[in-house]
Amino acid sequence: MYLIARCPSCGKHMMANTANKTRTCSYCGSKAELFSLRVLAKAETSRDAVRIIQGLKEKEAEARPGVRFKRFKP
């Protein structure tokens, strides 16, 4: 299972496998303990987690006109 949360340091979305206890942010490099993160969503597969993160980014983009995100295509 995968968790989607925000990095406590930089605020970017991060995906974490529940088999691990910590996750290092791929954007800022800070390490976070999974049990201390506020979970935004859960997914069964990493592909589903990526889709959830894309949806969250799209919602944020709608809230801030003029900001665009590239869509990830596996």
Task: Between 69 and 4, name the one with better pLDDT.
Answer: 4
68 domain residue, yes or no: no
CATH of the domain at 43: 3.90.820
Domain of 7?
2-63
Phi-psi region of 45 (alpha: psi -120 to 50; beta: other; left: phi over 0): beta
37 domain residue, yes or no: yes
Average pLDDT over residues 20-36: 91
Above 90 in pLDDT, residue 69? no
Integer Cα distance of 72 and 7 in angstroms: 20
Average pLDDT over residues 55-69: 75
For the chain, what is the domain count? Answer: 1
26 domain residue, yes or no: yes
33 domain residue, yes or no: yes
